[in-house]
Amino acid sequence: QVEADLREALRQIGNQALGLFLSSMQTTPEEEITCSCGGILHYQRMREATVISVFGKTTYKRAYYAGCTCKEGKAPIDEQFGLEPGAVTAGLAMLLALAGIGFSYDTSPKWLQAYLLFDISENTVRSETEQMGALQEKREEGLIQQSQDEGYLQQRLRHPGQIAPRLYGSIDAAKVRTEPRAKKGKEKEDHEDWRDMKVLCWFETETVPPSQRSKRQQKKADREQTALRAKNKQYFCDITEANEFGKLLWATGCTVNADLCPDLVFLGDGATWIWNLVTKYYPHAKQIVDWYHAEEHLEVVATAAFSDLIQRKTWLEETTQALWDGQVEDVIAACKALSQTCLQASQAVTYFTNNKERMRYDRFRAAGYMIGSGTIESGCKQIVTQRLKLPGAQWIVVGAVHTAKARSAWLSGHWQNLCALRSALPLAI
């Protein structure tokens, strides 16, 4: 109770101190100042204003000007400190958005109340979180415009900056439950709709020291002769068509010099749209189908084709070893032999044939490449599953996109960039 009382006392002290500080920054008011429209504003009075800060509702007094023909008023102190009366401050907005990307919007206010010691509405948390996502979206739009500017691209070729000796890119998608929408050929909306949140990750890798290896990493080291983990991860996401997502793929790739990297590697599952984008924008990149996805296809075939457990185990061990050794033609032949009586085997023939050159795992291991797409799958879980797919969650598309973009910026270490943009918002309007 002593701690609780002291926390509340400190909050009140902070609230009063902030109000006094803002009021004290007001110098002797000038009689006239220039309006943003070019006209003249006249001093009216010392007008009280209230903002919601990290200490709660904070009140201060500042000079207020009006009387211009445009009928707009102005308080210079508000502009100086990026304040908007009745709204939250940039410092509080950062905390609200952090809660919004970590918890559901109905849970966030309870969590925040325990830390801030005052109540915040669910809609305020939602608004500030989505505002951060909108800022990230605007930042990405700027990158896309920049990446299509010939002058910028030529300048980057002359002065590229740091280029990683080996860089990875990985793309995947996860389903998000969104508001119903009408389907083609249907008059009424469906009960619900599921949309693909496409997720991209750029990253580098490093060897995991033996003393830091988990059991899974040690198992990988024993089998692959090395254990790699991702570092310097940067996530980007959107709900959009593949062609539009390709623009984001290219633009963000320019920021990490992916097109200039001498050893660019892409990891993914067998989705055609992923490899089409990679081939279009980074034709020189090495393409690798995730080992675990490929292995799972063999398990599906074995389960469907053999009722005898011994035959199933024998076939699966032999074909898995062939796949591990990069002998994809042998894997295709083994599946083809079962295709007349097994639909799953017939489908596997198509899958392995289409991705044959992306499954030369013996060569990839020899070159020291990561062959699992766990990094992007983890990204999908962190961005989509752990936030957008909470029990009962159903989103409007723009809300899902902005929340996911804000969360991806946090995971990528770009949060302070968004906070700086958020601090400047009132001045930029």
* DSSP string of 285-349, one letter each residue: SEEEE-HHHHHHHHHHHHHHH-SSHHHHHHHHHHHHHHHHTT-HHHHHHHHHTTTTT-HHHHHHH
For residues 295-323, give the mean pLDDT.
96
Residues 39-68: pLDDT tens digits? 999 999 999 999 999 999 999 999 999 999
pLDDT, position 392 = 84
pLDDT, position 82 = 86
pLDDT, position 18 = 96
Can you tell me the distance from the alpha carbon of 151 to that of 59, in angstroms, rounded to the nearest whole number? 49
Q: Flag whether pLDDT at 223 surpasses 80.
A: no
pLDDT, position 240 = 96
The half-sphere exposure of 305 on its side-chain side, counting CA atoms within 13 A, is 28
pLDDT, position 401 = 98
Can you tell me the distance from the alpha carbon of 377 to that of 297, in angstroms, rounded to the nearest whole number? 17
Q: What is the mean pLDDT of the chain?
A: 92
For residues 158-180, give the mean pLDDT.
94
Give the SS3 label for residue 271. coil
Task: Write the CA distances from 256 to 162, 220, 263, 354, 385, integer angstroms.
Answer: 8, 28, 13, 30, 27
Task: Write the CA distances from 119 to 32, 62, 88, integer angstroms.
Answer: 39, 26, 13
Residues 363-418: pLDDT tens digits? 999 999 999 999 999 999 999 999 999 988 899 999 999 999 999 999 999 999 99
Residues 17-42: pLDDT tens digits? 999 999 999 889 999 999 989 999 99
pLDDT, position 137 = 97
- Closest by Cα among 65, 7, 71, 73 to 31: 65
pTM: 0.89
pLDDT, position 429 = 31
Q: Is 405 in contact with 397 (CB distance < 8 Å)?
A: no
- Closest by Cα among 277, 227, 271 to 253: 277
- For the ranges 129-133, 191-195, 367-371, the lowest mean pLDDT is seen at 191-195
Can you tell me the distance from the alpha carbon of 397 to that of 244, in angstroms, rounded to the nearest whole number? 16
Beta bridge partners of 170: 201, 267
Can you tell me the distance from the alpha carbon of 302 to that of 319, in angstroms, rounded to the nearest whole number? 10
Task: Write the CA distances from 101 to 104, 108, 384, 396, integer angstroms.
Answer: 8, 9, 11, 16
pLDDT, position 217 = 74
Bridge pairing between strands 167-178 and 56-66: unpaired
For residues 198-220, give the mean pLDDT.
87
Q: Flag whether pLDDT at 5 surpasses 80.
A: yes
Can you tell me the distance from the alpha carbon of 429 to that of 36, in angstroms, rounded to the nearest whole number? 11
Q: In what order do the strands lie in the sheet with 32-34?
A: 32-34, 40-53, 56-66
| Alpha-helical regions (H) of 25-175 | 76-81, 90-102, 108-116, 122-147, 150-158
For residues 147-151, give the mean pLDDT.
95
- For the ranges 36-45, 147-156, 187-196, the lowest mean pLDDT is seen at 187-196
Please give the full DSSP string across 166-200, using - where no structure is assigned.
SEEEEEEEEEEEE---BPTT-SSBPS-EEEEEEEE
For residues 228-234, give the mean pLDDT.
94
Phi, psi of 372 (to 5 degrees): -115, 140
pLDDT, position 213 = 80
pLDDT, position 189 = 55
pLDDT, position 428 = 36
Residues 235-291: pLDDT tens digits? 999 999 999 999 999 999 999 999 999 999 999 998 999 999 999 999 999 999 999
pLDDT, position 184 = 63
Q: Flag whether pLDDT at 187 surpasses 50.
A: yes
DSSP 80: H
pLDDT, position 202 = 98
Q: Flag whether pLDDT at 96 surpasses 90.
A: yes
Residue 185 contacts by C-beta under 8 Å, 6 or more apart in sequence?
none
pLDDT confidence band for 427 (50 / 70 / 90): very low
